[in-house]
Copies of this chain bind each other. A is one copy, B any other.
Amino acid sequence: MAADDSAETGTQQIRDAIRDAIVERRLSPGTKLSESDVGNLFNVSRTLARAALQALSYEGLVSVEKNRGAFVAYPSPEEARQIFAARRLVEPGILREAATRITPTDIRHLKQLLLEEGRLIGERGQTARRAEIKASGDFHLALAVISGNAIMQRFMDELVARSSLVIALYGQSTVSSCGHSEHGDIVTAIENKDLDEACRLMLHHIAHIEADLDLRQRKNLGLKEALKR
C-alpha cells in the first residue's frame, strides 16, 4: 500500500532533520533559521530550505514572520496551556482506541520502548539526555500508531513535538523523566484490560508533566517579542 510519497525527498529530509533537532532541543526556541544558512547547511538552494521551513511552520515548530524570517517557535504560556489541553482531550481517546486494537506484538514493542527509556535515564551526558527526551515522546506516539488512525497519529506527532518545545522553555526540574514509571503503569493497565484505569493514569501523567512547568509570563516579554534572537 502507498505509504508516503507525499513530499519531495530533499525537502522532507531537511524538514525531518530540523524537526529532530528541535525536538531533541539541540535548537533552542527563538533561534533564527535563515533560509540561506539552512540551504548551505544541506547543500541545496534557498527554494528547498524555504519549503522545509514553511512545512515546519504548519506543524507549529517554527514561526515565520513576514519579511523577517523563520525562528524556532517560542510558544507563549497560553499556547503551552492549549497544547496540553489538547493532549488531555485526545490522548484518552487514542488510548481507548489503541487498547481495543492492541496485539501481543504491540505490547512487546511498547515494553521494549519502556526498557530503552529506562536505560537512557540511567546514563549520563547530553546525548543520552536528548535520546531520553525523544524516547519519552515516542511512547505516546507509539500508542497513536497502535490506534491505527493515521490522522490522530499525525496530530499526536505535532502535539508531542510542540510539547518538547514547551518543556524546554518552561520546564523546571532538570529531569523530565519523572514520569517514566507512569508509562509503565499505563501499559500494565492496558494489559489488565482496565481501560478506565489506563485513561485515569494517562490524564494523571499529562497533568504531572504540566505541573512541572512554570507558565508565569516571562519578565517584560512581549513588548518587542523580547529575545527573539
Q: Which residues of A contact B (CB under 8 A)?
A: 5-8, 51, 54-55, 57-58, 60, 63-66, 79, 82-83, 85-86, 89-90, 93-94, 97, 149-152, 155, 159
**Contact in complex: B82, A149 (CB < 8 Å):** yes
With A6-B57, A6-B63, A93-B93 known to touch, is A86 a contact of B51 (CB < 8 Å)? no
With A51-B54, A54-B55 known to touch, is A89 a contact of B152 (CB < 8 Å)? yes
Contacts of A155 in B (CB 8 A): 86, 155
Contacts of A159 in B (CB 8 A): 151
Q: Is the interface of A mostly helix, strand, loop or mixed?
A: helix
In Å, the complex CA distance between A134 and B90 comes to 26
Q: Within the complex, what minimum Cβ distance (angstroms) separates A218 from chain B?
A: 16
Please give the count of copies of this chain that the complex contains. Answer: 2
Top 3 A-B pairs, shortest CB-CB distance: A89-B93, A58-B58, A86-B151
Closest to A83 in B: B151
**Contact in complex: A89, B94 (CB < 8 Å):** yes
With A54-B51, A55-B58 known to touch, is A6 a contact of B89 (CB < 8 Å)? no
With A54-B55, A55-B58, A155-B155 known to touch, is A5 a contact of B85 (CB < 8 Å)? no
Contacts of A151 in B (CB 8 A): 60, 79, 82-83, 86, 159
A and B contact pairs by CB, cutoff 8 A, 23 listed? A5-B66, A6-B63, A6-B64, A8-B66, A51-B51, A54-B54, A54-B55, A55-B58, A58-B58, A60-B151, A79-B150, A82-B149, A82-B150, A83-B151, A85-B97, A85-B149, A86-B149, A86-B151, A86-B152, A89-B93, A89-B94, A89-B97, A93-B93
Closest to A152 in B: B86
Q: Within the complex, what minimum Cβ distance (angstroms) separates A75 from chain B?
A: 10
In Å, the complex CA distance between A86 and B151 comes to 7
Q: A90: which of B64, B65, B89 is its contact (CB, 8 Å)? A: B89
In Å, the complex CA distance between A57 and B54 comes to 12
Q: Within the complex, what minimum Cβ distance (angstroms) separates A4 from chain B?
A: 11
In Å, the complex CA distance between A90 and B90 comes to 6
Q: Within the complex, what minimum Cβ distance (angstroms) separates A225 from chain B?
A: 9
Contacts of A65 in B (CB 8 A): 5
Contacts of A64 in B (CB 8 A): 6-7
